[in-house]
Amino acid sequence: MSAMNPSARHYRNQVVRIAEIAVVSDLIENVTFKNCVLIGPAVLALVEGVTMSGCEIEGTEEGVFWVVPAEREYVVGAVGLRDCRLYSCHLQRIGLAIPERVLPEMRRGFGFSEA
């Protein structure tokens, strides 16, 4: 298997190890993933402009969602996503750092029941 290109803007039908594309920066910007398997271990912080459609995530709701309180200005140690699109992707060993206000939408999107 060849190494990932950390500067690629489009990934399609690939296995993508987050650590391999977050080598030069802890922010992934303006990248599209279609029908990919995204593999951690990683926590992805949804910074802004992220679209996720038809994606699946492995794990329990409590394990995958890292809820960030509204008053927190930033998150250290996570890989940020800005202006990225994920279509029909499968996420393995990945947590999502998300603002409290989007938790209900994320629960529905990934098929978790409302608490």
Asked if the structure places residue 9 within a domain, the reply is no
Q: How many domains does the chain have?
A: 1
Q: E-strand spans in the chain?
A: 10-12, 15-17, 27-29, 32-34, 37-48, 51-53, 56-57, 65-68, 79-82, 85-87, 90-99
Reported as a single tens digit per residue, the pLDDT across 21-33 is 998 899 999 999 9
Considering the domain boundaries, does residue 8 fall inside one? Answer: no
pLDDT (average), residues 9-13: 94
- Is residue 3 in a domain? no
31 in a structural domain: yes
Is residue 5 one of the residues assigned to a domain?
Answer: no
Which structural domain range is residue 73 located in?
A: 16-109
Q: Model-level pTM?
A: 0.88
Instruction: Please report, as a single letter, which amino acid is at residue 54.
Output: G
Cis status, amide bond into 41, omega within 30 of 0: yes
Q: Is residue 49 part of a domain?
A: yes
